[in-house]
Amino acid sequence: MATGRLVEVYLDLLSQPCRAVHILLNATGIPHRVRTVALRRGEHRSPEFIKLNPMMKVPVMVDDGFILTESDAILKYLATKYDVPEHWYPRQPERRARVDEYTAWHHSNTRPHAAKVFILEVLLPTQTSSQVDEVRLAGALSQLDDTLDKLETMFLRRQPFLCGDDITVADLLAVCELMQPVGGARDVLQQRPQLQRWRTRVQSAVGESFDRAHAVLFALRDRRHARL
C-alpha cells in the first residue's frame, strides 16, 4: 500500500456519494481519517471548507496535500493508488471501460432519479414544513422505475454485479443512491427481486462497512416510521 499520511475525507453520510467513499475506505482498509461536514448546518459554506472546495460540495479527499473532489474521481483514485483488490477498478482495459461506462451513465440516471424521490418525499417537506407533492412524487417514481429497468436489463443481465462477476466502485455508487429513499421509509427495490439480490451481494461483499455508512440514514428512517 502507498505510504504517507492518512487519507483525509470530508463527508456527510446523509450524502449518497460520501457513503460510497466511506464504504470503499473501510471495506479495503485504506488508512484514513473522516472529517464530518454537516450540510444541514451549512458547514460546507465555511471559509475553511471553501478553501478545499470552492464548489462547496462533499465529498472531498486530501491525500498528502493532494486535494480531489467528485466521488467518481475519488473512488477511482483510491482504488488505483492504494493496494486494494484489483476488482474494485480493474486494470484490464475492457473491464475498466465497463466500470467507466456505468459511472458515466450513473450521473444522469441513477443519481438524479433516486435523489429526486428522497428530495420530494423527505427533504423539501422537512425544509418547508409542507405536504409531499404527490403528483411530482409519482412522476419521479415513474422516472426512477425506468432507470431501474435499465439497471436490470442493461447492466445486470446475467451477471451478479453491474460491471461483471465481482464488485466494483460502480456498485458502490449505485447502491448508495438506491438506498437514499430508505430515509423516507421507502424501499424502491421492494418489487425488484433481481435488484434486491444484487443489493444483498453488495452488502455481503463489503460487510459491516455497509451498515456503518448507512447508520445515519437508517436512523432517519426509524424516526420517520415512529411518526407514521
Of the pLDDT bands very low, low, confident and very high (cuts 50, 70, 90), residue 224 is confident
Query: What percent of the chain shows pLDDT beyond 70?
Result: 97
Cell 460502480 identifies what position? 170
CATH for 93-227, options being 1.20.1050.10, 3.40.50.2300, 3.40.50.9100, 3.30.1330.10:
1.20.1050.10
- State residue 1's pLDDT score: 44
Any bridge partners for residue 177, and if so which? none
Of the pLDDT bands very low, low, confident and very high (cuts 50, 70, 90), residue 226 is confident
- Global pTM reads 0.95
- State residue 153's pLDDT score: 97
Any bridge partners for residue 62, and if so which? 8, 67
Q: Are 47 and 100 in contact (CB under 8 A)?
A: no
Burial class (CB in 10 A: 0-12, 13-18, 19+), 171: buried
Burial class (CB in 10 A: 0-12, 13-18, 19+), 123: middle
Q: Report how far residue 135's alpha carbon sits from residue 132's, in angstroms, rounded to the nearest whole number.
A: 9
- So where are the chain's domains? 7-86, 93-227
**pLDDT tens column, 72-131:** 999 999 999 999 999 999 999 999 999 999 999 999 999 999 999 999 999 999 889 999
- 7-86 — its CATH code? 3.40.30.10
